[in-house]
């Protein structure tokens, strides 16, 4: 693979560093990579981790001068490529170290690693056994610099080959790179920096400086359930004042508790200094403690920056108590199952002269039942009154029952203002009609039988999970 994207990535980094408004919030995307798409294979000489290595004489000596290098991570394996001055691939190293942002270490080319030397002029390659070492050198001018040394032996030739060079290494996620080529809209991967991996082998020694900061303003707290493609639970807080912009994102099944480094979502936990809108790079996510005192949720997070400074941030979020209660009933709408097959969610919509709602649920089989707040996809829920979309805090006490022509849904919508709306929706569920045509496959027909949603296609009945019903 050519390393044509490194200069573009540098340009994007320079632009994004000045864009302090580009703070990213985690949210669920109702898009997914098409099922038929597979990432093109990334292998060393088409045979990494394989015993079927080519056995042929080397036509010429391998090149020794390395001009540049890059590293790719794919399915847990690292692939380090070295190029000569004319951008020809002259060496490859494959290894697995169980890390996603570090490559330094000593490796042995055996059944778990691989080492290949190329001779571009002769179009030849040779697979070697032996050892290679990757050592961090410095931060470099654009990317971190590493020293790579290797000693390999070609058994069939009884010849040894040595390799020794230093290079700045640009690292990236190969799978995300492939997505950017074929389906960028599905993953939001448009630029090189969207799939770049920031290598983190540089040693950091704590300076002894501890910066403690409490945000006076309430944290902007996003409490989404079923938030990602796996349906995992997570929360994110954002706080900003004249000094810092800080985002904390934790993957968890509960809000209150003590969280370790493994619980942090590194993509959405970040820190900016507002004085010059520069990112403060995080070396280690140490801990986060979340507690609740009445209507106040308190987040205390400790981070170790790559400068060696320790940051301890306190964020407070004020959950609204109910001030007034209202009823918004007899809303007429539909149950939209567009994303049922992809994410297991159904959007129940309804409106009348007083308002409109959208209630997105991670539905049970047959849709009917009582739902907890964790089964509500809050990001896609909304309440609109007199044409104005309200600031929604939570949706709870959701009940879905079957009625003629669809479903009757009740739920409580709590606004950030403290106003609580008791909502009820008559959601129609339209059954697609079958097409009788002997030359085409019949479309699926949906119907309710014994209170269960049944999908019948070509004379075979299935439930909403795809299991055949007899």
Which helix (DSSP H) or strand (DSSP E) does residue 305 occupy?
strand 296-305
Residue among 56, 68, 66 nearest 125 (CA) = 56
CA angle 359, 363, 369 (to 5 degrees): 95
Residue among 233, 248, 232 nearest 285 (CA) = 248
Do 268 and 236 form a contact (C-beta atoms < 8 A)? Answer: yes
Distance CA 284, CA 217 (A): 26
Do 331 and 230 form a contact (C-beta atoms < 8 A)? Answer: no
Sign of CA dihedral 327, 332, 337, 338: negative
Which helix (DSSP H) or strand (DSSP E) does residue 423 occupy?
strand 419-428
Tell me the β-bridge partners of 395: 413
Distance CA 231, CA 241 (A): 33
Instruction: Provide the strand spans (E) within 64-158.
Output: 68-74, 77-83, 89-95, 105-109, 114-119, 124-127, 129-138, 145-154
Could you list the pLDDT tens digit for every one of the 470 residues in the chain? 333 333 223 222 232 333 334 577 766 544 444 555 555 555 554 333 222 223 233 444 455 677 888 888 888 888 888 888 887 888 888 888 888 889 999 988 765 567 777 655 555 677 778 888 999 999 888 889 999 988 877 766 556 677 888 888 988 888 877 777 766 655 555 555 677 888 888 887 777 789 999 998 888 877 654 444 444 578 889 999 999 999 999 988 778 889 999 899 888 899 999 988 788 988 889 999 999 887 788 999 999 998 889 999 999 988 788 889 999 998 999 999 988 887 888 999 999 998 999 999 989 989 999 998 778 888 889 999 999 999 888 899 999 999 999 999 999 999 988 899 999 999 999 764 544 544 444 455 555 565 555 666 666 666 545 556 66
Distance CA 407, CA 440 (A): 32
Q: What pLDDT sits at residue 225? A: 47
What predicted TM-score, i.e. pTM, was given to this entire model? 0.52
DSSP code string of 181-231: HH-HHHHT--SGGGTEE----S-----S-EEEEE-SSPPEEEEESS-STT-
Distance CA 112, CA 142 (A): 31
Count CA within 13 A, CB hemisphere, residue 106: 3
Distance CA 309, CA 208 (A): 7
Tell me the β-bridge partners of 371: 398
| Cα 229 → chain centroid | 9
Task: Please give the radius of gyration of the chain, using alpha carbons only, rounded to the nearest integer.
Answer: 28
How far apart, in Å, are the Cα atoms of 377 and each of 222, 320, 344, 450, 470? 12, 20, 11, 28, 32
For residue 177, give the DSSP letter: H
Distance CA 177, CA 192 (A): 8
Q: What pLDDT sits at residue 468? A: 63
Count CA within 13 A, CB hemisphere, residue 401: 6
């Amino acid at each position: 693979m050519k390393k044509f994207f490194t200069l573009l990535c540098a340009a994007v980094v320079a632009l994004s560093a000045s864009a302090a408004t580009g703070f990213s919030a985690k949210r669920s995307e109702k898009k997914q990579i098409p099922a038929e798409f597979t990432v093109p294979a990334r292998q060393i000489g088409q045979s990494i981790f394989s015993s079927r290595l080519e056995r042929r004489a080397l036509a010429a000596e391998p090149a020794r001068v390395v001009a540049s290098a890059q590293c790719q991570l794919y399915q847990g394996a690292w692939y380090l490529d070295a190029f000569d001055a004319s951008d020809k691939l002259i060496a490859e190293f494959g290894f697995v170290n169980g890390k996603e942002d570090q490559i330094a270490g000593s490796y042995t080319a055996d059944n778990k690693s691989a080492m290949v030397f190329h001779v571009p002029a002769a179009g030849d390659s040779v697979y070697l056994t032996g050892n290679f070492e990757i050592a961090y050198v410095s931060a470099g001018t654009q990317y971190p610099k590493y020293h790579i040394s290797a000693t390999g032996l070609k058994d069939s030739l009884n010849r040894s080959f040595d390799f020794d060079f230093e290079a700045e290494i640009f690292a990236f996620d190969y799978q995300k790179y492939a997505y950017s080529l074929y389906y960028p809209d599905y993953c939001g991967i448009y630029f090189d920096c969207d799939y770049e991996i920031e290598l983190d082998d540089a040693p950091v020694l704590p300076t002894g400086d501890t910066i403690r900061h409490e945000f006076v303003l309430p944290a902007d707290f996003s409490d989404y359930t079923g938030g990602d493609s796996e349906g995992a639970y997570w929360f994110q807080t954002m706080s900003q004042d004249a000094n810092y912009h800080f985002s904390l994102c934790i993957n968890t099944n509960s809000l209150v508790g003590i969280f370790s480094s493994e619980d942090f979502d590194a993509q959405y936990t970040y820190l900016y200094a507002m004085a010059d809108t520069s990112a403060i790079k995080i070396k280690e996510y140490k801990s986060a403690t979340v507690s609740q005192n009445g209507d106040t949720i308190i987040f205390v997070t400790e981070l170790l920056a790559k400068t060696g400074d320790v940051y301890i941030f306190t964020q407070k979020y004020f959950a609204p108590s109910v001030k007034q209660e209202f009823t918004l009933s007899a809303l007429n709408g539909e149950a939209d199952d567009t994303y049922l097959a992809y994410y297991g969610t159904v959007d129940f919509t309804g409106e009348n002269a007083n308002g409109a709602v959208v209630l997105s649920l991670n539905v049970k089989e047959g849709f009917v039942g009582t739902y907890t707040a964790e089964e509500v996809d809050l990001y896609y829920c909304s309440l609109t009154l007199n044409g104005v979309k309200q600031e929604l805090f939570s949706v709870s006490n959701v009940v879905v029952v079957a009625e003629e022509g669809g479903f009757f849904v009740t739920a409580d919508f709590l606004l950030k203002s403290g106003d609580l709306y008791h909502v009820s929706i008559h959601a129609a569920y339209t059954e697609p009609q079958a097409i009788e045509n002997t030359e085409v496959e019949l479309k699926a027909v949906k119907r309710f039988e014994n209170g269960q949603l049944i999908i019948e296609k070509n004379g075979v009945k299935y439930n909403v999970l795809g299991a055949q019903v007899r």
